Amino acid sequence: MLARVIEGLGIPTVTVTMMPDVAQKFRLSRVVGVEFPFGHSFGMPGDDAMQTTVARAAVQALAEAGAPGYRLDVDLQWPVPTEVAYKTWQPSEPSPIVAMLLRARQPQPPSSA
C-alpha cells in the first residue's frame, strides 16, 4: 500500500478506511476505522459534523500512535439503512471495467467447429 511507502520515507500517514481489519493485516501504522459505505470514508456529503469527527479522529491517531499497528474506530452510525444506501448509490449501468468483468464471468456458448 502507498501508505507504507510514504511511511518508509519518514512521513507519517493515517489511513481512514471502511475495512480496518484488512488495513491492519497490511500492517499500516495508523488506521482509523469507519462503518460507512465505500466512497464515503469521511461521512455523508454535506454533513460537516460527521466529516469533522472523522478528520479529528485521524489527527488524534497521528498524535497518539506510538508504534505501528495503532487503530482507532470512530463510533458513528451511518444515518441511512445500509441496504437503502447501497442501492441509491449504485449507477444505473456498470462502469466499463465492471461490465467487462461481468461478461467474462458469463458462461460462453460452445463453439461450433
Asked if 57 and 72 touch (Cβ cutoff 8 Å), the reply is yes
What pLDDT is attached to residue 72? Answer: 96
In tens, the pLDDT along 6-37 reads: 888 989 999 999 989 888 888 888 999 998 88
Mean pLDDT of the chain: 86
What pLDDT is attached to residue 78? Answer: 87
What pLDDT is attached to residue 113? Answer: 61
Q: What does the angle CA 69 – CA 35 – CA 94 come to, to the nearest 5 degrees?
A: 115
